[in-house]
Amino acid sequence: MLEELRKIRFARFHLELEAVDRLRLPPYKGSTFRGAFGNTFKRLVCVKRDLECATCLIQRQCVYYYVFETPYQGEPARGYTFVPHPFVIEPPEETREVYEPGEELRVGLVLVGKALDYLAYFIYAFEEMGRRGLGQGRGKAALRRVWAGERLIYTAGEGRLDTDYPVCAGPHVVPAQEDSVSLCLQTPTRLKNGGRLSGDLDFPLLVRSLLRRASDLARFHCGAELGVDYRDWIDRAGRVRTAESYLRWHDWERYSHRQGAKMQMGGVVGEVSFAGELGPFLPLLSLGADLHVGKGTGFGLGRYEMRTPPPAPPREQGGGAEKSSANG
């Protein structure tokens, strides 16, 4: 599988922003950053804002259309309404809600395949997003620096972008062979099982979701098809058992200005460990740690970290679901 996954090209970036005004942001900031970024991106590149993308004559030449409404190549697959976006925004991890002027926010950005050609557009959109303001009261923020790993590739005010940054072909780290692995689900993970969101996470469901995401990203954004026997891999995943699970449902609500309604975006968080013949699956799990899994990855959902020791029991176990809300 590793050789097939190397068809997927991606790069990770970290953007350093500095609060210019006092910023008031929700505990989970995925909706705030994703919503403001999308609106700003369209404002910057769209020449016919009064038209829907579907009726625009220049849609196929439009960067916004490619990034946010990527067209299918060939027949629509698996009933998707849209192709998965070629980017992941990872909002600041801390849950603090107030940033004073001069304080830093760190945002992760992952670009896949062809989207790497448009890195400058993403940087420009983040700069303009900060100028327009974020969160409650529309406090302003300034983009100061952009990093690719340990390489500084952009500094505000210099007007130059270093495009000689590292690009990963497949998993950037392939863990040593293990017969057990733990995943820490850091943001709500939304996986469907039988057409419904699952409140649990067994290994076949995880592998099926990761294979679907890897296949779509390769096909629509990297111009490649994964030569993988999906049925065989899912059958093999069925022989991996759940050793321990400390998962819980986390309700997250966001307001969509585009749809004019509140949307439920809850998913599972916590830790789960698996045991069995895991070695062949480790490259796929590692890739998913970079590219996320499930629905809502553009908001930073489906983010997890791989660990080799089994998870420790949580200090406190509540009986109810957690809930938070966000205003995008």
Tens digits of per-residue pLDDT, 1-43? 788 999 999 999 999 999 999 999 988 888 888 888 888 888 8
Residue 228 structure tokens: 């993988």
Given a cut of 70, whether residue 261 has pLDDT beyond it is no
Does residue 94 sit in helix, strand or coil? coil
Q: What is the pLDDT of residue 266?
A: 79
One domain for residues 127 and 243: no
What's the distance, CA 315 to chain centroid? 28
Mean pLDDT of 186-212: 90
pTM for the full predicted model: 0.86
One domain for residues 138 and 57: yes
**Residue 100's domain is classified under what CATH number?**
3.30.70.1890
Is the model more confident about 216 or about 79?
216
Residue where a domain terminates, one of 116, 138, 168? 168
One domain for residues 229 and 158: no
One domain for residues 112 and 218: no
Query: Does any domain span residue 3?
Result: no
Residue where a domain terminates, one of 168, 183, 213? 168
One domain for residues 76 and 104: yes
Question: What's the pLDDT band for 250 if we cut at 50, 70, 90?
Answer: confident
Residues 6+ apart with CB under 8 A from 133: 21, 139, 140, 141
One domain for residues 148 and 267: no
Residue where a domain terminates, one of 117, 148, 168? 168
Query: Does any domain span residue 96?
Result: yes
Q: What is the pLDDT of residue 222?
A: 94
Instruction: Please tell me the total count of domains within the chain.
Output: 2
Q: What is the pLDDT of residue 183?
A: 94
Query: What amino acid occupies position 145?
Result: R
Q: What is the pLDDT of residues 148-196, one digit of tens each?
A: 989 999 999 887 999 999 999 988 777 666 788 999 999 999 998 887 8
Question: H helices of the chain, where?
Answer: 2-5, 30-45, 63-68, 119-132, 203-221, 230-237, 282-291
One domain for residues 70 and 87: yes
Q: What is the pLDDT of residue 31?
A: 83
Strands 168-169 and 87-90: unpaired
Cα–Cα nearest to 197, from 240, 245, 247: 247
Q: What is the pLDDT of residue 327?
A: 47
One domain for residues 208 and 176: yes
**How does the average pLDDT of the chain come out, rounded?**
85
Whole-angstrom distance, CA of residue 15 vs CA of residue 118? 16
**Residue 224's domain is classified under what CATH number?**
3.30.70.1900
Given a cut of 50, whether residue 320 has pLDDT beyond it is no
CB 128 within 8 A of CB 36: no
Q: What is the span of the domain harbouring residue 104?
A: 9-168
Q: What is the pLDDT of residues 41-89, one digit of tens each?
A: 888 888 776 667 667 777 777 888 888 887 665 555 555 566 899 999 9
Given a cut of 70, whether residue 317 has pLDDT beyond it is no
Query: Does any domain span residue 2?
Result: no
Is the model more confident about 45 or about 313?
45
Query: What amino acid occupies position 113?
Result: G
Mean pLDDT of 140-154: 94
One domain for residues 181 and 298: yes
Whole-angstrom distance, CA of residue 180 vs CA of residue 241? 10
One domain for residues 33 and 71: yes
One domain for residues 121 and 216: no
Query: Does any domain span residue 4?
Result: no
Strands 241-256 and 261-264: antiparallel
